[in-house]
Structure 1
C-alpha cells in the first residue's frame, strides 16, 4: 500500500490505492500473458514489473488499464525481441537426455512462435492462448479487426510451415 506523509506528519492513503488493488486482482492473468509472450517465468516477471512501473504515473488517466498494460508489455518486448537471448541457464544438468514427445512438441512450437514478427506473435498469443476475441485483440494492440484477422491467418499458416505435422508413425510412437 502506498502511504503519504504530509508536512505535519499525518499519514493517509494515496489516491493510488486502486492501482494496488488492481495489481493484486489482475497480477496472475497479466503474468500469464507476459509468460506467453516471452516464454520464461523470470523474464515474464521482469516484463510485467517494468510495465507496471511504466503504467503507475499514468494510472489516473487510463480508461482500460489491463489493455494498456498488455500494450506496454508488447511494446517493451518489441525491443527485446530484436536482441534475442540465446543462452539457457539451468541449475542441474541431466545425466542423460530424456525423451518426451510432448515437451519436444511444445519446445518446437515455442521456437517457431519466437521466429514470427512481433505483432503477429502478439495476435496469436492474445487470440489463441488468452482466448480473446478479434475485437478485444484489436483494441489491445490498437489495430483494426481486419489486421488481427490477417495476422492470425498468416501467423497460423507460418506456424504450420515451421512446425510440420508429425507423421502417423511418430504419433503412434514408432521410429
Structure 2
C-alpha cells in the first residue's frame, strides 16, 4: 500500500472511530479521562504501525479493541505507575473532558466508582460485553481468552456490581447463549 493511501485510510479510521475508542477507554478506566486519552493515543500509534497487517486481515476495529484492552490491562505493570501516589486534593483541577460518545449519555459517577472496584480483566469483560455490546466471542478475542472465561468473568463482575449498587435499578443477568438441547 502506498504511504499516502495508507495515511488517508488511517486518518479516515481515526476520524470515524476515535470517539468510540475514547468512550470505551473512559468506561474501562472507570472515568479516568486522562488515562483514557493516553491509552487511546498509544493504541492509535500501534494501529498505525500495524496498519498493513490489520487491513489485510480485515479486522481493524477488532485489532484496535484488543490493543486498547491490552494497553488498559498492562497499564499497571508500567514502572511509572507504581511510583505514583494518589492524593485526595489535586493542586489544580482542569476542566472536565467530554467526548462525543458521552456528551449525549451521561455516565453515572456511582457506576464508575463501582467499576473501579472490579479487577481490570473483569472490568474489561463487563464493559466490552455490556457497554460496547460485543458478543461473547468478540470479547474473548479482545481479551485473548476462551468464551467460557468471558462468561464467568462477566457473571462475577455483574454480581459484584449488584452488591456495590443495591439501591440502583437492577442490573439484568446476561442471557444464556448456550444450546438448551
Common fold: TM-score over 0.5: yes
8 Å CA contact 1:35, 1:41 repeated in 2 = yes
> Take 1:165 and 1:159, find their aligned partners in 2: how far apart are those partners?
11
8 Å CA contact 1:47, 1:76 repeated in 2 = yes
Who is 1:16 aligned against? 7
Of residues 40, 50, 72, the one that matches 1:58 is 50
Task: Show CA shifts across 1:120-155 (max 9, x none).
Answer: 100111111111221221222222211111111011
Who is 1:73 aligned against? 68
Who is 1:44 aligned against? 36
Of residues 23, 32, 39, the one that matches 1:32 is 23
Who is 1:7 aligned against? none
8 Å CA contact 1:81, 1:118 repeated in 2 = no
- SS of equivalent residue, structure 1 residue 159: helix
Which structure's CA Rg is the greater one?
A: 1
- SS of equivalent residue, structure 1 residue 132: coil
> Take 2:42 and 2:11, find their aligned partners in 1: how far apart are those partners?
15
Task: Show CA shifts across 1:15-70 (max 9, x none).
Answer: 33211211112112111111111113333222111111122111101121212112
Number of residues paired by the alignment?
145
Aligned-residue CA RMSD (Å): 2.7
Q: Which runs of 5+ in 2 are unaligned?
A: 96-105, 169-181
Of residues 160, 163, 174, the one that matches 1:161 is 163
> Take 2:41 and 2:65, find their aligned partners in 1: how far apart are those partners?
12
8 Å CA contact 2:70, 2:143 repeated in 1 = no
Who is 2:124 aligned against? 122
Distance 1:134 1:85, change over 3 A: farther
TM-score of the pair, normalised by structure 1: 0.70
Instruction: Name which of structure 1's ranges 55-64 and 133-142 shifts more when overlaid on structure 2.
Output: 133-142
Q: Which runs of 5+ in 1 are unaligned?
A: 5-12, 93-102, 167-175
Are 1:138 and 2:130 matched, yes or no? no
